[in-house]
Amino acid sequence: MSYTTEERGKPNTLDYRVFFKNAEGKPVSPFHDIPMYADEAKNIFHAVIEVPRWTNAKMEIATKDPLNPIKQDVKKGKLRYVANVFPHKGYIWNYGAIPQTWEDPGHKDKDTGCCGDNDPIDICDIGSKVCSRGEVIRVKVLGTLALIDEGETDWKVIVINTEDPEAANFNSIEDVRRLKPGYLEATVDWFKRYKVPDGKPENQFAFNGEFKDKDFAVEVIKSTHDFWKALVYQKTSAGELKCMNTCITDSPCCCAGDEAERVIEEACPLGAEDPIPSTVDKWFYYEKN
């Protein structure tokens, strides 16, 4: 199954959006229409890349917009960029989300004691390839880290692209520790400190910042898939989330193709990109706690 993207608006502005279409050219939601599994028998999942490695723009699936295009996160009316917290340059993995998952803010996790963050579950792809924004890849799950972000459970699932040249060598979180020494420690450090330049305290973790194994991670993903099902079939409150989809025919939120096309057509036309602020290239230094 292949997908293409259609950019609208001017990159690096508030109106920029990346919409998705399937192989037939039909508009789809990356939140709802792309299947969670790429190969269920082998526990291979789809992942939507929001942020390519080494970049700083905080791009995300717009869960509150019709068709859920990728857009840049906004805070106080300004586009968000993650700081370069020494020694980390931008995002240190390809960062994205697993479709058809949802971390329910009304559900308190029995392991973390905190409710979900109201988003699809996040992934960190540790493969060597730098992916493109909006790329849909097939991934093997290796483990997970339980970030507690402002009192919410925010799982970070460690994966590797199945097309990566090294993918055959990675089948567990211990393989990452053995073959990419320092990468897991850098991942914890990144998530702990990335909000400090915004004046916020260091983030905390469940399990004392230890990674849980592949089997644990897969079960977490499956549970968020169940929460997503309740969402898209209107068995739980969606709040501000938009569940418009074009492929889940028995969902009350499924819409006709022409209605979905209008969503894209009504978005701003693609224009020349604005420059990225020079402040994004600055480095932030501080002594670790």
| Pick from 47, 45, 49, 73: nearest CA to 59 | 73
Q: Give the pLDDT mean for 135-162.
A: 97
pLDDT tens digits, residue range 79-133?
Answer: 999 999 999 999 999 999 999 999 999 999 999 999 999 999 999 999 999 999 9
Q: Do 117 and 104 touch, CB atoms closer than 8 A? A: no
| pTM of the entire predicted model | 0.97
DSSP state string for 49-112: EEE-TT--B-EEE-TTSTT--EEE-EETTEE-B--EETT--S-SSEEEE-TT----TT-B-TTT
Percent of the chain whose predicted confidence (pLDDT) is above 70: 100
Q: Which fold has domain 3-272?
A: Inorganic Pyrophosphatase (3.90.80)
Q: Do 122 and 50 touch, CB atoms closer than 8 A? A: no
Cis previous bond, 120, omega within 30: no
Specify the pLDDT at position 257.
87
Specify the pLDDT at position 1.
76
Residue 289 pLDDT > 70, yes or no? no
What is the Cα–Cα distance from 59 to 66, expressed in whole angstroms?
Answer: 16
pLDDT tens digits, residue range 207-223?
Answer: 999 999 999 999 999 99
